[in-house]
Structure 1
Amino acid sequence: MRKLTAFRVFNLFLIFLALFSPLVLPLHAQGRATVDVLTVEGAVTPVVARYIERGIQEAESNGAQLLVIRLDTPGGSVTVMQEIVQAMIAADVPIAVYVAPEGAQAVSAGTFLVLAGHIAAMAPNTRIGAASPVGGQGEDLPETAKEKTTNVLVAQIKGLADRRGERAVAWAEKAVRSAEAAEAKDALELGVIDMIVPNVDELLAQVDGQEVRLQTRTVVLRTAGAEVIDLPMTLVEQFLHTITDPNIAYILLILGINGLLFELANPGGFLAGVIGAICLVMGFYALGVLDVNYAGLALIALAFVLFVVDVKAPTHGVLTVGGVISFVLGSLILFNTPFYAVSRGLIASVALITAAFFAFAIGAAVRAQRQKPTTGLDGLIGAEAQVRSDLDPEGTVFLFGERWKARTEGHPIKRGEIVRVVGAEGFELIVEPLATSQAGDGSEFEGQTDVVRGPTSEALGQES
């Protein structure tokens, strides 16, 4: 009987575990709720798109209650923005886009990302908006192209803002059509965002218990006291995101070109060529990501061509001036969007340094051309020699330890006189007497061994 009672008690215990384990497991077996946080700073590029997509996948796989995207961006490519928006809409995890820290902005493409989030929040003193389409250098688009692009973007942003109410939809349309922007407090009043919070912890406290509608289900957020897990960019993502900064990409491009030019001018070292090639490859990758304007790239390449040509065939700096103008113009229009722009100060600094370097190189080339030759027959022009056999008009002279066939085009010159070389034809020197020269005994040439120079030793005659 006692065994039967013990068996019944054990069965009741198992039934108790079965009934109440769902309430216990979330607290113990499953551990604390988690919230993943991504941090996006800078332009919206393909690297950022891969980072956000990876963050969404990780948040989905680890069962995070919420994915927070901390955002500070001046905008970026429309194509990349649309790719990120699609990934956010299709995500099976709630996403909160948080414009932070104070002073941050989410303009242009960033506005679309904020509205695409299930929850939109901003830190105090932040901005959103100014999403009008513009041309490659920030100029207004042609009327027809602008109307088409604007209508497409208006339709998209109105769809994203629709669940936030009519005032939010009306403001979103103005943000695209007339580049309207709003401070955080104005955005909250218009219903564009859900809250203004100073930090992520306050954000999690305010959204706790809120219902979020995903594509396939509705989720009730349990974020109070949740463990916050930062998901930073990987080292590769950080590196690629760093070099896609317009200024870094520009420096890599210039270093790459200079490295290759230096290697071509001084072959054999390889170090400059290898470094130049690496910089150039990384620069071209960054330019591809940043949507380069090939006209600007061509102008920069033309500038270096003009610099090199001016060194090889000096034009007294005319081509260098043209190269500097081409270089500056190419740098100013290097990218196809106003949100990727090279610092004007950096452009000026690089242009001045490059111009100074090639100006120095051109000066050296000019001086080399004007310098008297020091090798070959031309190097003998102006040298003084002693007559070894009478020049009437032909004979021999002694010069630099060698006997040369020579001739004079004036009066005959006697042996022992000092003459100056004024020209050369083949291996025969043309000489003239020094105005102040006098016949001498050649003592200044004593101790030097004669070496015959000329077509043949017989043609030079024998020294008496």
Structure 2
Amino acid sequence: MIERAVRLAGFLACIWAISLLPSAHAQTPVDGARAQHVIVLDIKGGIGPATRDYLVRGLDRAADESAAAVVVRIDTPGGLDAATRDINQAILASPVPVIGWVTPQGARAASAGTYILYACHLAAMSPATSLGAATPVQMGGGASGSDPAGDRAGNRTLSGPGADKGLPDAQRQAPQGAEGVGGEGPNAPKRQGKDDARTHKVINDSVAYLRSLAELRGRDAGFAESAVRDAATLTAAQALQQRVVEIIADDMDSLLDQADGREVGVRGGPVALSTRGAAVTTLAPDWRSSMLAVLTNPSVAYMLLLAGMYGLLLEGYSPGAIVPGVVGAICLLLALYALQVLPVNYAGVGLIALGVLLMGLEFSVPSFGALGIGGIVALVAGSLILFDTDVPGFGVPGQLILGIGIASALSFMGLVWVLARSRTREVSVAAGAMVGQQAIAIEDFIGRGQVRIRGEIWQAESPMPVERGQSLQVQSMDGLVLHVTHVGPAVAVRSGKTGVPP
């Protein structure tokens, strides 16, 4: 019996082992397919903290999943220097090959996009796209003579066409219609050698950075320097001819086919790309990146700053209201977080805070409108210089500033009108609410005396003698004097409730 049981167990074990063979055989293609998938990330619009967070997390996920490659689709006018350098550091440290692709047609990799494209292991462009114009722009009103490394705090931006507005006149580029966008055409002004030390340090730092990326990837270093110093640009065909990019691709399939078999150097050593026919997974921003993108939007940060200041101001005028204070504190902390990662002129923040404070003081200090008007002017002036509006994607719209200024002025004038009207209105008491109420006499009196009603002490008149503690009823009211009649006998009145001696 035992022998038969052992044989049956062995037979079942053999069947179980055989049943696993197809599964093991089928698992190999699944793992292979997993290793052959490509993750797609998108850079669209201005490059800031949210873009950095999204790209870094996407590259980490690609490394965890052992993806064949990461394709970064680029369409940007530029962005913040600090965020761009963090993205490039993540690309340089990535064990997964990164393919930078300027797409769709009509897109551009201006300024910060050029730096990212140079950092990628493989660079590609779609037809009718462009790159370049990588001149850095100083933002935030930093002190002159600061070190370029100090710009990692976020005061420098890498902006696209029009970025030369932040440079001295001698450094500005030729207008449209010269040889190339921002090139050295015949109409371009000659350099006068009047650039200050700060501009030279920033330009030279950016040139060295982009040249180092070009030398690392074996790309044209001459254009890298020209893109920074002269804001030079290239079309897709020109970039391919000058060895700035390696591929021109119309669509994803063409890009992956042309990239297949190319050898690139990643952190772990040379890797041969195997992307032909790979599955494509587009990674959308998660809730964290989306929330960060909203918070670091300059318009949202500006509104949060105002909401926080007004909330704390209302809490100061109405202690114990709680809601304005709580909401104001939360909004102010979120605004401060956004401002510390954005290129902010803190003189603008100071003017906005001063404006809100002056408008608040107007209602407690008799200034006949001087404080309020000064507050509105300070608020609008601070809003205008809070961000550099010459950089795409990092300015507060003028319509929003105008709307805030008008709303603040109307609110201020409305409150002033209400207060002025209340000063001319005679003091009145709701007589109808007092008639019919019961009062308690707090003293003996004949004619006029004092009574207690609804916790208050009033003057009262009675046609009959009144004893202390007697219940009375209000019949009418003459100014601040109540006319009362008897409704009950006198009762004991304790001094603790009436506030008078027993």
TM-score, normalisation: structure 2: 0.65
Please tell me whether residue 133 in structure 1 is matched to residue 136 in structure 2.
yes
- The CA deviation at 1:229 is 1.5
Aligned position for 1:37: 40
Alpha-carbon distance between aligned partners in 1 of 2:423 and 2:231, rounded to the nearest angstrom: 59
| Residue pairs, 1:20-419, within 5 angstroms | 27=29, 29-32=31-34, 33-136=36-139, 139-140=166-167, 143-162=196-215, 168-313=220-365, 315-335=367-387, 338-339=390-391, 340-374=394-428
**1:155-192: CA deviations, max 9, x gaps?**
111121236767x3222212211222334444334332
Q: CA RMSD in A?
A: 3.2
Kindly tell me: are residues 267 and 135 of structure 1, through their superposed partners in 2, closer, same or farther at Cα, counting changes over 3 Å? same
SS at match of 2:280: strand
SS at match of 2:74: strand
Alpha-carbon distance between aligned partners in 1 of 2:372 and 2:233, rounded to the nearest angstrom: 44
- The CA deviation at 1:150 is 0.7
Alpha-carbon distance between aligned partners in 1 of 2:325 and 2:250, rounded to the nearest angstrom: 50
Aligned position for 2:470: none
- The CA deviation at 1:373 is 4.1
Equivalent residues of 1:311, 1:358 under 8 A apart: no
Letter in 2 for 1:354: S
Alpha-carbon distance between aligned partners in 2 of 1:185 and 1:225, rounded to the nearest angstrom: 26
Alpha-carbon distance between aligned partners in 1 of 2:109 and 2:215, rounded to the nearest angstrom: 19
Kindly tell me: are residues 369 and 29 of structure 1, through their superposed partners in 2, closer, same or farther at Cα, counting changes over 3 Å? closer
- The CA deviation at 1:401 is 7.7
Equivalent residues of 2:49, 2:292 under 8 A apart: no
SS at match of 1:313: coil
Equivalent residues of 1:131, 1:175 under 8 A apart: yes
Kindly tell me: are residues 263 and 216 of structure 1, through their superposed partners in 2, closer, same or farther at Cα, counting changes over 3 Å? same
Alpha-carbon distance between aligned partners in 2 of 1:358 and 1:199, rounded to the nearest angstrom: 57
Equivalent residues of 2:49, 2:296 under 8 A apart: no
SS at match of 1:134: strand
- The CA deviation at 1:126 is 3.6
Equivalent residues of 1:99, 1:122 under 8 A apart: yes
Alpha-carbon distance between aligned partners in 2 of 1:350 and 1:103, rounded to the nearest angstrom: 36
Equivalent residues of 1:96, 1:120 under 8 A apart: yes
SS at match of 1:291: coil
Alpha-carbon distance between aligned partners in 2 of 1:102 and 1:320, rounded to the nearest angstrom: 52
Please say which of residues 128-137 and 144-153 is displaced more in the overlay: 128-137
Kindly tell me: are residues 263 and 68 of structure 1, through their superposed partners in 2, closer, same or farther at Cα, counting changes over 3 Å? same
Kindly tell me: are residues 350 and 198 of structure 1, through their superposed partners in 2, closer, same or farther at Cα, counting changes over 3 Å? farther
- The CA deviation at 1:316 is 4.4
Alpha-carbon distance between aligned partners in 1 of 2:296 and 2:484, rounded to the nearest angstrom: 70
SS at match of 2:32: coil
Kindly tell me: are residues 103 and 259 of structure 1, through their superposed partners in 2, closer, same or farther at Cα, counting changes over 3 Å? farther
- The CA deviation at 1:64 is 0.8
Alpha-carbon distance between aligned partners in 2 of 1:347 and 1:212, rounded to the nearest angstrom: 49
- The CA deviation at 1:106 is 2.6
Kindly tell me: are residues 210 and 246 of structure 1, through their superposed partners in 2, closer, same or farther at Cα, counting changes over 3 Å? same
Alpha-carbon distance between aligned partners in 1 of 2:126 and 2:373, rounded to the nearest angstrom: 49
Give the length in aligned residue pairs: 364
Alpha-carbon distance between aligned partners in 1 of 2:234 and 2:375, rounded to the nearest angstrom: 44
Alpha-carbon distance between aligned partners in 1 of 2:236 and 2:396, rounded to the nearest angstrom: 29
Kindly tell me: are residues 180 and 272 of structure 1, through their superposed partners in 2, closer, same or farther at Cα, counting changes over 3 Å? same
In our comparison, the structure showing a higher alpha carbon Rg is 1
Equivalent residues of 1:123, 1:198 under 8 A apart: yes
Alpha-carbon distance between aligned partners in 2 of 1:357 and 1:123, rounded to the nearest angstrom: 52
Letter in 2 for 1:362: V
- The CA deviation at 1:111 is 1.5
Unaligned runs of 5+ in 1: 1-22, 376-395, 404-443, 451-464
- The CA deviation at 1:114 is 1.0
SS at match of 2:72: strand
Alpha-carbon distance between aligned partners in 2 of 1:402 and 1:53, rounded to the nearest angstrom: 79
Alpha-carbon distance between aligned partners in 2 of 1:366 and 1:199, rounded to the nearest angstrom: 69
Letter in 1 for 2:33: G
**1:327-351: CA deviations, max 9, x gaps?**
2221222237853211122111122
Letter in 1 for 2:420: V
Unaligned runs of 5+ in 2: 1-24, 141-164, 169-194, 430-447, 449-457, 462-477, 486-502
Equivalent residues of 1:314, 1:365 under 8 A apart: no
Alpha-carbon distance between aligned partners in 2 of 1:82 and 1:322, rounded to the nearest angstrom: 42
- The CA deviation at 1:268 is 4.0
Letter in 2 for 1:153: S
Same amino acid, percent of matched pairs: 37
Letter in 2 for 1:49: R
Alpha-carbon distance between aligned partners in 1 of 2:301 and 2:115, rounded to the nearest angstrom: 26
**1:186-208: CA deviations, max 9, x gaps?**
43343322333344333222212
Kindly tell me: are residues 267 and 348 of structure 1, through their superposed partners in 2, closer, same or farther at Cα, counting changes over 3 Å? same
**1:298-337: CA deviations, max 9, x gaps?**
1110111121122333544433332222222212222378
Kindly tell me: are residues 155 and 372 of structure 1, through their superposed partners in 2, closer, same or farther at Cα, counting changes over 3 Å? same
Letter in 2 for 1:139: G
Equivalent residues of 1:135, 1:336 under 8 A apart: no
SS at match of 2:73: strand
- The CA deviation at 1:117 is 0.4
SS at match of 1:335: coil
- The CA deviation at 1:55 is 1.9
Alpha-carbon distance between aligned partners in 1 of 2:416 and 2:366, rounded to the nearest angstrom: 6
Alpha-carbon distance between aligned partners in 2 of 1:312 and 1:223, rounded to the nearest angstrom: 71
Letter in 1 for 2:136: P
**1:101-146: CA deviations, max 9, x gaps?**
4443332222211110011223344442222122216622661101
Kindly tell me: are residues 98 and 29 of structure 1, through their superposed partners in 2, closer, same or farther at Cα, counting changes over 3 Å? closer
Letter in 2 for 1:353: A
